[in-house]
Amino acid sequence: MNELDIVFEKNFIQQLEERVINDLPTSSWDLFKMTYDIQKSTLIHTSDDLLAIDYLPHLTCLPHQLNTAKQVVMQMNGCAILADEVGLGKTIEAGLILKEYMIRGLVKKVLILVPASLVNQWIDELVNKFYIPAVAYRKGYSWKHVDIMVASLDTAKRAPHCSEIHNINYDLIIIDEAHKLKNHQTKNYQFVKGIKKKYCLLLTATPIQNHLSEIFNLISILKPGHLGNYKAFIEKYVKAVPSIEDNHYLKELINKVMIRHTRKDTNIKPSKRHIKTIWVDFSKEEETYYKQLEYELGNKVPFLKLTLLREICSSREACYMSLKKLSNNSDHPVEDLHSFIDGLEKLPQHAKARKVIEIIKKIGNEKVIIFTEYHATQYFLQWYLQQHGISSVPYRGGFSRSKKEWMRQLFQHDRQVLIATEAGGEGINLQFCHYMINYDLPWNPMRLEQRIGRIHRYGQKKDVYIYNLATKQTIEEHIMNILYKKLNLFERVIGELDDILSKLLITDLESEIQAIFHKSTSTGEAKVKLNHLTSIIQENIELYEEMGETNGTNKP
Amino acid sequence: MVLTNLDYFFTTFFKAHRCKIIHKEKGLIKVQLTKELDRELMNRPFYWHYMEKMGQKGEPMKLTFITDPNHPNQQSGEWVHFGSPRLQQIINHLKKNEIFAKLYQYVSSHVETPLYPWLVINIKIIYQGKQTREELFSIGLNLINGLMRTNMMESIHDLSFQRSVPDFCFPLSPLIRLKSGYRRIENVLKQYIYDQDQTWVEETLATGKHELALLQHFYESRDDENEALYQKEVSDIKNRYQPKIIVQVINGGLFYLTDSYQN
């Protein structure tokens, strides 16, 4: 017991004696008893449940949510990355932790930064599920005087809010969609880093999207210095191939600050995902045009070739925007550009769009979300659906918070289809919808996961149906066949891949693929290289699965 | 549990502070604060300072508490809930002020009844290791015969007490002084702590060592730039994994109990 400090209370009995002898005021029985009862009911037991559970009898939490909250409060000292897969209820976990700290009297001043589209949802959950009086930031509200403020990161980081917030000592900050902080050179990052805090929760389903430095940056917000300094870290883990031993240390350290559950660990039997690939044939004219783009124009503007090909697979409008931009750039006139623009105008209705109408008609009266990568396609589809008597609303990242909420409500109550661009994919919860059409596929599988996560998340009771469109004989076919099909991305529960990629430290997949297409002189060559890339990933996946079996440490 | 019934909690608290309950229905309580409680809870020292300067009485505030978030008049008051700042404020107020007691068991008697002195100590032991664990003991020591019992508060929980000697009762003088009584209790607790399984201490120290070793791997090359960061991390880890036991008196006092409490 040498190393153990025992500190005994010293003053109590002296003071009691003085009071008794001098007949000084003492407590009434009611208050004395009440104080004892409170102490008794707010005692911290290691083995027992969180105190918060007793106060939230109406809330049923899943075991992994309770475990996460317990682990963060009891072992991680309130600083953690909550990295459950999309839809496993990270908000519930964060709410539980916040509640627990409030009951223990350790947390009073709280700042919650979330995407603008999620502010109302957070408020709703905190107030109604956790009885926590959270307030959404509105113009003129004082950061200093509201104890539990929910705001968007974009609002908070602007002057004068930024400096006001930096002057406050927060007990707890919670940041949703924290992968926005992966780059330490951004304003977002600098702003969050500058907030004074005691506890901190970072929520993200994709703690590592592309690069290992991202996790370094996230951890540096939680615990500056925990992973040494940036330069040394990059040298050792990012630039060089880390040794197995080093990797082991890294994993161990990451597990001290990050909790991640996948659907597999949680044994939740979610509703099923039915995923269907829909092949679209270009019309003769479209096919010819595509070839011309690829071999004629593409060779004149190699840096744009890939973009143009992807765009023409999406819509004439998307492609038109790029061509138009190109023609306005008089520094580098491109021969025959006008004939391409004219050619574009003469093309028939887009084959894919016709397919979409077909699918929606087949689905019947159900709500449908369509995702596209391009604004121009979004506009076009809205018009095109309208021509076919299908009502729709647009949704994109640039909308203000209230507009997003309005669009969501319109969709829920009034319109059949919501057409979202990539930026709109984050955050919004659209569980009342069970059908999704991926009009074009992102090249980063994580982004696809985020899309699907909008409708297929914890709490979704019905099966969901995902239709992925790809045009034959185009770049889309390669991506579909090689990236998605060969890696079994659809058959796997998608979060698994995310897990594997992040653990294997595979660097930027999307730019890898882009580089392959750029550097290859022929489609054949690109195909071979793509095949090679996927084989490497596949091998790694197998390796990972073996490792997971032998040492059982694949669960953080 | 006291905190699961907030209506009861607030009513008891404010009544005990001699505040008038102006209105009460399920999920809503309206109270008139006293001047003392207004000063404690409302955080407006300038108002009271000004009133004093002006020689005026000042007007303590009325507070409306909503304990049911679904109450139809929820806008009309302050929503209090577990973990809300107001509740926390009141709990802290209790913890700070309700520490010492000198109480006599209420006996309605027409014959002379002796009351026996007990020292009642409610004590919290906080074990700070890798994890924090707390234990609460309520220990009573009969100051005449030295009998000690645990769960003292639980056993007297439903009795009534008052601050003055009830009619026809006569309190006996303690034979054991408060201080030596307290020492006896302290010794028993010390023994209790030493007799416990100490694996948590070893585990905590081992974890601390492990974390320090792990940290080393990320600071193999230390320079001026990261030396400060490194030292800070080291001292954080050391502080966190230094096992410690804190024995803290929550409250306690001198209680006079009837004969039936001898056993």
Peptide bond into A270 cis (omega under 30): no
Q: Do B221 and A232 touch (CB under 8 A)?
A: yes
Average pLDDT over residues A90-113: 91
Range of the domain at B119: 100-197+246-262
Same domain flag for B80 and B104: no
Kindly determine whether residue A12 and residue B99, on different chains, have CB atoms separated by under 8 Å: yes
Distance CA B210, CA A509 (A): 35
CB-CB contact of B244 with A7 (8 Å): yes
Q: Check residue A543 and give its pLDDT.
A: 65
Domains in chain A: boundaries: 62-266, 273-280+348-551, 284-346
Same-domain status, B153 and B169? yes
Q: Is it true that A62-266 and A273-280+348-551 share their CATH fold?
A: yes
Q: For residue A352, count CB atoms less than 10 angstroms from its CB and return exposed for 0-12, middle for 13-18, buried for 19 or more.
A: buried
The residue of chain B with its CA nearest to that of A146 is: B85
CA dist list (Å): A401 to A404, A408, A412, A424: 5, 11, 17, 11
* H or E element, residue A279: strand A273-280
Which residues on B lie below 8 Å from A225 (Cβ)? Answer: 226, 229-230, 232-233
Which of B38, B94, B16, B151 has its CA nearest to residue A28?
Answer: B16
Alpha carbons within 13 A on the beta-carbon side of A166: 12
Average confidence (pLDDT) over B94-110: 93
What whole-number distance in Å separates Cα of residue A55 and Cα of residue B3?
8
Q: Which pLDDT score is estimated for B262?
A: 57
In tens, the pLDDT along A315-357 reads 888 888 888 888 887 666 677 778 888 888 888 878 899 999 9
A34/B103 touch (CB, cutoff 8 Å), yes or no: no
Q: Is B179 on the interface with A (CB under 8 A)?
A: yes
B121: pLDDT strictly greater than 90: yes
Q: Is residue B215 part of a domain?
A: no
ipTM of the complex, rounded to two decimals: 0.93
Cβ atoms B152, B101 nearer than 8 A: no
Same structural domain, B162 and B61? no
Q: Is the same domain home to B109 and B153?
A: yes
The residue among B74, B97, B120 that closes a domain is B97
Residue A120 burial (CB < 10 Å; 0-12/13-18/19+)?
middle
CATH value of A62-266 in 3.90.1150.10, 3.40.50.10810, 3.30.499.10, 1.10.260.40: 3.40.50.10810
Indicate if B191 and B72 belong to the same structural domain: no
**What DSSP state is assigned to residue A555?**
-
Instruction: Judge contact between A207 and A218, C-beta under 8 A.
Output: yes
Distances (CA, A) of B242 to A509, B160, B206, B239: 44, 44, 10, 5
How much is the pLDDT for A292?
86
Q: What is the DSSP string of A306-320?
A: HHHHHHHHH-HHHHH
Does one domain contain both B154 and B172? yes
Question: How much of chain A, in percent, has pLDDT values that exceed 70?
Answer: 85
State whether B16 and A38 contact (CB < 8 Å). no
Instruction: Report the pLDDT averaged over residues A270-277.
Output: 79
Q: Which of B47, B62, B97 is the endpoint of a domain?
A: B97
Task: Give the mean model confidence (pLDDT) for residues A305-310.
Answer: 85
CA distance A210 to chain B (A): 22
CB contact under 8 A, A29 and B103: yes
Instruction: Identify whether residues B250 and B179 lie together within a single domain.
Output: yes
Q: Cα A145 vs. chain centroid, distance in angstroms?
A: 30
- Is residue A1 scored above 60 in pLDDT? no
Q: Please check the confidence at residue A209 and state whether its pLDDT lies above 70.
A: no
H-helix segments, A425-522: 445-453, 475-478, 494-504, 509-519
Distance CA B40, CA B62 (A): 14
Chain mean pLDDT for chain B: 88
B90 and B131 in a single domain? The answer is no
Residues 137-166 of B with CB under 8 A from A: 138, 153, 157, 160-163
Helix (H) or strand (E) run with residue B133 in it: strand B132-142
The percent of chain A in helix, strand and coil, each rounded to the nearest 5, is 55, 15, 35
Residue B40, domain member (yes or no): yes
H/E stretch holding B233 reads helix B224-240
Q: Is residue B208 part of a domain?
A: no
Tokens encoding A492: 């796997």
Instruction: Give me the sign of the Cα torsion angle B210, B215, B221, B227.
Output: negative
Q: At B250, which helix (H) or strand (E)?
A: strand B244-257
Mean pLDDT for A370-378 is 92
Residue from A107, A145, A150 nearest A125 by CA: A150
- Whole-angstrom Cα distance, residue B193 to residue B137? 12
Does residue B250 belong to the interface with chain A, where contact is any CB pair within 8 Å? yes
Q: How confident is the model at residue A549 (pLDDT cuts 50, 70, 90)?
A: very low
Q: Over 80: is that where the pLDDT of A174 sits?
A: yes
Please state the domain count of chain B: 2
Residue A551's pLDDT is: 39
- Domain membership of residue B47 (yes or no) is yes
Containing A222, the helix (H) or strand (E) segment is: helix A212-222
Question: Is A4 within 8 Å of chain B by CB?
Answer: yes
Name the residue among B83, B97, B251 with its Cβ closest to that of A99.
Answer: B83
Q: What is the pLDDT of residues B173-221, one digit of tens each?
A: 999 999 999 999 999 999 999 898 888 899 889 988 988 888 887 777 6
Shared domain check, B152 and B31: no
pLDDT band at B105, cuts 50/70/90? very high
Lowest mean pLDDT among A178-187, A523-532, B165-174: A523-532
DSSP state of A521: S
Question: Looking at residues B248-263, what average pLDDT do you find?
Answer: 86
Chain A residues within an 8 Å CB radius of B125? none
Looking at residue A358, its pLDDT comes to 93
Question: Both B140 and B164 in a single domain?
Answer: yes
In a domain, B188, yes or no: yes
Residue B225 lies in a domain: no
Decide which of 3.30.470.20, 3.60.150.10, 3.30.420.40, 3.40.50.300 is the CATH code for A273-280+348-551.
3.40.50.300
- Decide: A50 and A69 in contact? Cβ < 8 Å: yes
If DSSP codes are grouped into helix, strand and coil, which group holds residue A427? coil
- Is A10 at the interface with chain B, CB within 8 A? no
* pLDDT over 70 at A265, yes or no: yes
Out of B79, B97, B115, a domain closes at B97
CA–CA separation, A254 vs A308, rounded Å?
Answer: 41
The pLDDT of residue A548 is above 60:
no
Kindly state the average pLDDT of the residues A226-243: 72
Average pLDDT, rounded, for chain A: 82
Q: What is the pLDDT of residue A550?
A: 40
- Pairwise CA distance, residues A137 & A493, whole Å: 37
Based on the fold, state whether residues B28 and B149 are members of the same structural domain. no
Give the distance from residue B50's alpha carbon to the nearest chain A alpha carbon, in angstroms.
24
Question: Both B92 and B107 in a single domain?
Answer: no
- Of the candidates B261, B156, B125, B190, the one whose C-alpha atom is nearest the C-alpha of residue A43 is B125
Residue partners of A94: CB distance under 8 A and separation at least 6 = A82, A174, A176, A201, A203
Task: Mark which residues 102-131 of A lie under 8 Å from B by CB.
Answer: 102-103, 105, 108, 127-128, 131
Token couple for A88? 């496993």
Q: State the CB neighbour count (10 A cutoff) for residue B182.
A: 23
**E strand spans, A153-205:** 169-175, 196-203
pLDDT per residue over B138-186, tens digit each? 999 999 999 999 999 999 999 999 999 999 999 999 999 999 999 999 9
